[in-house]
Amino acid sequence: MERGDYLYIWEAPEWPDWRYDLAALAAPLAAAAGAQGLLLGRMYDAGVAQRTEANLVALTADVLKTSEIEGESLNPHSVRSSIARRLGVDIGALAPVDRHVEGIVEMTLDATQHCYAALTRGRLLGWHAALFPTGYSGLSPIRVGTYRDDARGPMQVVSGSAGRQRVHFEAPPAPRLKKEMPRFLRWVNTHSDHHPIIKAGIAHLWFVTLHPFDDGNGRIARAIGDMLLARMDGTDSGRRFYSLSAQIQHERRSYYEILERTQKGTLDITEWLAWFLRNLQSALDAALHTLDAVLAKSRFWQRIAGMPLNERQSKLVNRLLDGFDGKLTSSKWAAIAKCSPDTALRDINELMALGVLQRSEGGGRSTAYELAEPMPAPDAAAPVPLPQR
């Protein structure tokens, strides 16, 4: 059907009769499904420790990036600590509890660990309340744990300064949510003929279009998509090995552009689904690279098994393996390990003597250090300990 006399897709007479060209999507759908199968296969060929680490990496990225898409930066250590605490994973010293971080972690884990549970109104309202524990979005009070009422005007997505604002999208009036939200939830919870990945893409778009809350709609839409993708993973463990939100954040500008185009277009959403599939495949490809890094980290610890590393040395070596930001100097070592400069230098010299660290190439005011390659082979008779944190 051609576009009628309406501005937004929710105003179309045939709403929400979603349509798409499956033939046009066949190739990207097959590629995404194939990448998903390859990742899961490689993950289950890896050991339990490697799967746990990859799961922690993916969930941490998901929480961080779904917030960054909305322009909000969270502390990575707080996020990783919160997830590790809830998963029962030992990562050494944990960051202090941040109730805002705890809320978004709670929503993310609920969506993935309970992916087969029905998506209900109560569950959505719980997610929303977890996202805004203070009842504020920034400095503005919002309605929390309930749908919007449009008391301050229609729900619009705008940009630009006051007086020169551009309206990118306007959501359905609040009274329509009484009909729209139950219909959406029934569709999510009912088996359909859509491929599971296609259904995840439609659910993401549909929820964003309804925009039922004062704030947090994008984060909840992505959590719903992750929930449906987790069902396709075919596991009941709730483990997630890739982050679509991280890929969307990387393509943040095109994400908002495709959403605006789609919501001002027709109910043929082939273009949106093609974008969704391409970025899902990119997220899966990135996860395969993450797995390579996790496996390399595991091999590293196996190679140095039996070496007498103390707790500080183990902690800092792990920081280097995870990708240290900047150059590691003895002063940074002392600050991170909370020890004296003399102790830090002694730790470093011991690791250099063992062949674990080496001086970085290049000059500078302070000597920097990096992991040595290749690492010395371990004693074949030595036991292989779990990585220390």
Q: Is the pLDDT of residue 42 over 90?
A: no
The HSE-up count of residue 329 (CA atoms within 13 Å, CB side) is 9
pLDDT of residue 16: 96
| Beta-bridge partner residues of 369 | 328, 359
User: How, if at all, do strands 166-170 and 328-329 pair?
Assistant: unpaired
Helices (H), 268-307: 270-303
DSSP string, 57-114: HHHHHHHHHHHHTTT----HHHHHHHHHHHHT---SSPPPP-HHHHHHHHHHHHHHHT
CATH 1.10.3290.10 fits 9-296, yes or no: yes
Element (DSSP H or E) covering residue 369: strand 368-371
Please work out, in degrees rounded to the nearest 5, the angle formed at the alpha carbon of residue 249 by the alpha carbons of 245 and 252: 130
- Give the per-residue pLDDT at 386: 34
The mean predicted confidence, pLDDT, of the chain is: 87
| Out of 282-286, 290-294, 336-340, least confident range | 290-294
Confidence at residue 29, expressed as pLDDT on a 0 to 100 scale: 96
Categorize the per-residue pLDDT at 256 as very low, low, confident or very high, splitting at 50, 70 and 90: very high
Question: Token pair 């004062």 is at which residue?
Answer: 214
Question: pLDDT above 90 covers what percent of the chain?
Answer: 58
Give the residue-averaged pLDDT of 141-152. 93
Label residues 114-153 b or e (16+ Cβ within 10 Å = b).
Answer: ebeeebeeebbbebbbbbbeeeebeeeebebbebbeeeee
**pLDDT score for 120:** 98
pLDDT of residue 337: 87
CB-based contact 263:304 (threshold 8 Å): no
pLDDT at 384 over 80: no
- Residues 204, 185: Cα–Cα separation, whole Å: 12
Q: For the chain, where do the domains classified as CATH 1.10.3290.10 start and end?
A: 9-296
What are the start and end residues of each CATH 1.10.10.10 domain in the chain? Answer: 307-371
Tokens describing residue 367: 């000597």
Entry field: residues in the chain: 389
Single-letter amino acid code for the residue at 48: V
Distance CA 219, CA 69 (A): 9
The residues that bridge with 137 in the sheet, in sequence order, are 140
The torsion region of residue 195 among left (phi > 0), alpha (psi -120 to 50) and beta comes to beta
Distance CA(11)–CA(387), nearest Å, equals 56
Q: In this predicted structure, which of 119-123, 267-271, 370-374 has the lowest mean pLDDT? A: 370-374
| pLDDT confidence of residue 237 | 58
Check pLDDT > 70 for residue 73.
yes
How far is Cα 57 from Cα 94, in angstroms, rounded to an integer?
Answer: 16
User: Is the model's pLDDT at 44 over the cut of 50?
Assistant: yes
Find the mean pLDDT for residues 215-228: 96
Confidence of residue 360 (pLDDT cuts 50, 70, 90): confident
Model confidence at 361: pLDDT above 70:
yes
Backbone phi, psi, residue 265, to 5°: -105, -140
Output the pLDDT for position 365.
65
Q: What residues have CB less than 8 Å from 175, skipping those under 6 apart?
A: none
* CATH of region 307-371: 1.10.10.10
40-62 core/surface letters (b: 16 or more CB in 10 A; e: else): bebbeebeeebbbbbbbbbbbbb
Report yes or no: 338 and 288 within 8 Å, Cβ to Cβ: no
367/349 Cα distance (integer angstroms): 12
pLDDT in tens, 204-214: 999 999 999 99
Reading the block at residue 277, the tokens are 């599939």
- Which pLDDT band holds residue 47 (cuts at 50, 70, 90)? confident
